[in-house]
Structure 1
């Protein structure tokens, strides 16, 4: 240890915790740590993003795709502030991330020094479970160990602030004496199970129901089989939260798809007509799309006891791992002899499948965005890793794409931050370079950060075992989701100064970076374009010119009310809103036709 610095001790501790890569952006406040990473010769590797915010998204993506802790680093001041958006993404979607943030040396703190900000206060909310300024070299192993344990135990982001002089200090000895702590880089997850009385109470509620629905979230990621078995025993239908979509096979006839504002009519019917609800690992905030209060009995399973009853009143709350809890619950459940509810659910699912097909077939100018995503069905490789950005593209992903089993798909679900998709996909690709990555993004997200991170892709891709990294950009020259939100929520007309985006030829930009690309304006070319992109020998940007006036109509019956305020906003647009009005009325008519 004689020639080692504290920065080397940090790197060694990261290695002991199994960290394979650190995402970030350098700066003087973290330079000693960067030197230690250089000396580590790629173990762990350093991944340079174009911006600290996207570096944080990469760490979140790593955690989401691998289940491991994502690690990100930045300098103090602006670098630290830029991390916050990605760290809040981790906080709201419950994934473990450790942020190692540089700081000015201790002797100048409090002086208003260059780039000095109060990092403990800045990060105290986002890192509420662990947020620590290292104040001595001897403290470092303990602080790193506690940070990882807190991130893993709470599935939350944590922050360790590293003053520059601490990083540069000689590596200390650690004698066993008063005031010194020796810790170990060890953490093992517990198996959490509810008590027998709670299980019996939950079974009592579920057995009494005749029209049972399951709402499944990301907490059921390891309970795919158990969810289906319980639904089978209860004759139930299944809806998912947006984050739960990848963990339920939507090809099953009783799976109604995603719930909520961007969900399906089948899920709206399921949740609106059930008499009993079983919530498994979901904390979905779209409470207006839950069953009517007072008319439905409910049971909830969640690993976090604080989540029980958080979104919907429940009679029985089961704290436990979803898979193990469902395994213990299943023998207590009685098989339903009356199959009429299941038949009703399946009929609703079939109507929804017809509706989404017809929606994708509605003619648009030039291409209907729903059709772009629909054409990916049957073409998405079974070993793909999917990243979805925020905006109108999420609606089309939720409604039109049926994921192959075991294809991971992630997005910024609860924070809903634009610009996450390409950083996520980079992290996924680095973790599993032998698998193709596919990104679904709008043009707003691409202009926010995607174009910059394409530079990162261009720098890396020749090192990947499988070079396929397909980015599909829906280019409609508009912040479409916000435009439709203004029409729907405010009854306001479109505000061009706020909503219009400059037209960028994204495919040309990709080619400038040594990738391949194609711009599509004809819906008949979509299938062939997807196949070309997915067969490419290098990263490929598929740009499709889509129609911003295709309505983001919520599922009926709530959608009928929303359509009225949309009409109000479009009415204020005069002739400029004519095309959008025509498409809205076409979509409303399709809904009404399938209800008859």
Structure 2
């Protein structure tokens, strides 16, 4: 039997060491789906419940494997459904290759069923590279370039293939005019180092500083040893952008934790009081949480020159790989003998973690949501992977979870889309089937799509040597983050019709799938429930009923925010008085522990 284009696609994916493709079938990709059957399901076709989830799973896989994620969707609505996950990849700089079916060439332009202008559709989200393959001879170069671009640019790319092309016999490109060949799959990442003169300038700035602060993002992940050495020499504290939360362990005494609206007080004060700032591999957008303009001299290191010098008026910009650049910088740094700045930072960090424990133990009705993550943090295995969704639960992931050992964690950082937590966890399990995974998910995101993806977890759990995949639901029947934003940023009371969620028994649904299902209604049951879930021999859903009126008050809440909350209460917020009471209790646990 002649090799079809669909057959060749799968062979090329295997050549790129792709072990699974996250997708959903449809007649627009029948030629590729048939090829999976002929190839003995190699690579494995992982069926989600919705194409958007396939894209999120590919993003989660890419984030935790450091390899491109691959997703597959049919023409028309299938391709449209991929968009949110692909935008998540674009904004968080993650390599994902999307393979998308298209209406047959013979019907194009005829308003045929499911005919969508896919090139226009993906033009922005796959702006680094997208192509429509209309003849078989295009394929090797198109597919290889999609992978190479995704890897080199840390971005999503798209390959569009009409369904009639998929079923044709494969023909390689000819050695003739107007044909484009390709080379064998593979790409060696370049190691970029800035010019020596610029590194010397950066060293001069850092050596001159008395109060050095370091901000790291996900771009510093492969330079952890060098970051630690720089922090030791300069006596700096290290704050972490949310996507860089897992880059350095929180048991290092000078790591101040997350920065920003979801950040910690030590990180806020580190940036407020420093006189020198070193930014490594971060595109943290909220400049109001960085030092005041002109107060600190700044150096930035980033592998992408287009993202450098755009968040703070940096004095020296080093375009280069963080690992190689820091290795070149280290010999030029002088150790600071005055450790008073470092001593203050370390005392602030100790006090902050004590505060976090006190706040987590503040009584609530029925369970304080901070305590959910606090109890997990006490028990987290050193090889745990944590995914977080978007919502009020993200606050507790950012502040209360202490990273240590080989722990990893991520979320939809820049797009901040709801619904990524559970599919991220699935992608993480395929990236590391021998490691436990926990997804921290609000009940809004769970109702949006997390419930359906429990079916996917149940289906594929037998493929994972370590079956522990825990989905923890923050069950408060409220779209809590938006409720808080209405109160704190708009001075508006909670609008019940938009904010209140239907009550759902998430554990009961999990039990119907054969998963371990645990309902948690009291604070005393929370720790044992985590013990049971983390020791289970199968996936688990923790359905934790928590208090919606525990406000995610930033440790650096502004007077304007407090004024807005007061206005919301005066305007008749249905739970405003109790929310204010709980907020006062929480704040007092910080100020008067």
Compute the TM-score of the two structures, normalised by the length of structure 1: 0.97
Give secondary structure in 1 for the equivalent of 2:300: strand
Q: CA deviation at 1:586?
A: 2.2
Q: Is 1:394 the equivalent of 2:433?
A: no
Q: Is 1:342 the equivalent of 2:342?
A: yes
Give secondary structure in 1 for the equivalent of 2:70: strand
What are the ranges of 5 or more consecutive residues in structure 2 without an aligned counterpart? none
Give secondary structure in 1 for the equivalent of 2:158: strand
Q: Name the CA distance, whole Å, in 1 between partners of 2:51 and 2:377.
A: 34
Counterpart of 1:188 in structure 2 is: 188
Equivalent residues in 2 for 1:60-99, closer than 5 Å: 60-99=59-98
Q: CA deviation at 1:82?
A: 0.4
Give secondary structure in 1 for the equivalent of 2:263: coil
Q: Name the CA distance, whole Å, in 1 between partners of 2:299 and 2:397.
A: 29
Q: Is the contact made by 1:142 and 1:181 (CA closer than 8 Å) also made in structure 2?
A: yes
Cα deviation 1:196-247 (Å, max 9, x = unaligned): 0110111111111111000010000111111111011001101000011101
Counterpart of 2:441 in structure 1 is: 441
Give secondary structure in 2 for the equivalent of 1:221: helix
Equivalent residues in 2 for 1:567-586, closer than 5 Å: 567-573=566-572, 576-586=575-585
Equivalent residues in 2 for 1:319-468, closer than 5 Å: 319-468=319-468
Q: Name the CA distance, whole Å, in 1 between partners of 2:177 and 2:458.
A: 53
Q: Which runs of 4+ in 1 moved over 6 A?
A: none
Q: Name the CA distance, whole Å, in 1 between partners of 2:510 and 2:558.
A: 38
Counterpart of 1:109 in structure 2 is: 108
Q: Name the CA distance, whole Å, in 2 between partners of 1:218 and 1:373.
A: 22
Q: Is 1:286 the equivalent of 2:286?
A: yes
Q: CA deviation at 1:352?
A: 1.3
Counterpart of 1:4 in structure 2 is: 3
Counterpart of 1:150 in structure 2 is: 149
Q: Is the contact made by 2:127 and 2:157 (CA closer than 8 Å) also made in structure 1?
A: yes
Q: Is 1:501 the equivalent of 2:507?
A: no
Cα deviation 1:441-476 (Å, max 9, x = unaligned): 110111011000001111121332122111111100
Q: Name the CA distance, whole Å, in 2 between partners of 1:552 and 1:559.
A: 13
Counterpart of 1:172 in structure 2 is: 171
Compute the TM-score of the two structures, normalised by the length of structure 2: 0.98
Q: Is the contact made by 2:132 and 2:160 (CA closer than 8 Å) also made in structure 1?
A: yes
Q: CA deviation at 1:173?
A: 4.0
User: For this pair of structures, how many residues does the alignment match?
Assistant: 592
Counterpart of 1:212 in structure 2 is: 212
Q: Is the contact made by 1:553 and 1:559 (CA closer than 8 Å) also made in structure 2?
A: no
Instruction: Report the aligned-residue RMSD.
Output: 1.2
Counterpart of 1:135 in structure 2 is: 134
Counterpart of 2:313 in structure 1 is: 313
Deviates more, 1:397-406 or 1:264-273: 397-406
Q: Is the contact made by 1:553 and 1:562 (CA closer than 8 Å) also made in structure 2?
A: no
Deviates more, 1:512-521 or 1:572-581: 572-581
Q: CA deviation at 1:490?
A: 0.6
Q: Is the contact made by 2:494 and 2:573 (CA closer than 8 Å) also made in structure 1?
A: no
Q: CA deviation at 1:588?
A: 3.3
Equivalent residues in 2 for 1:514-553, closer than 5 Å: 514-553=514-553
Q: Is the contact made by 1:239 and 1:259 (CA closer than 8 Å) also made in structure 2?
A: yes
Q: Name the CA distance, whole Å, in 1 between partners of 2:332 and 2:299.
A: 14
Give secondary structure in 2 for the equivalent of 1:140: helix
Q: CA deviation at 1:591?
A: 4.0
Deviates more, 1:524-533 or 1:462-471: 462-471
Q: Name the CA distance, whole Å, in 2 between partners of 1:574 and 1:261.
A: 23
Q: Name the CA distance, whole Å, in 2 between partners of 1:471 and 1:574.
A: 32
Counterpart of 2:27 in structure 1 is: 28
Q: Is the contact made by 1:366 and 1:522 (CA closer than 8 Å) also made in structure 2?
A: yes
Q: Is the contact made by 1:266 and 1:351 (CA closer than 8 Å) also made in structure 2?
A: no
Cα deviation 1:350-381 (Å, max 9, x = unaligned): 22112211211111110000011000123112
Q: Name the CA distance, whole Å, in 2 between partners of 1:5 and 1:489.
A: 57
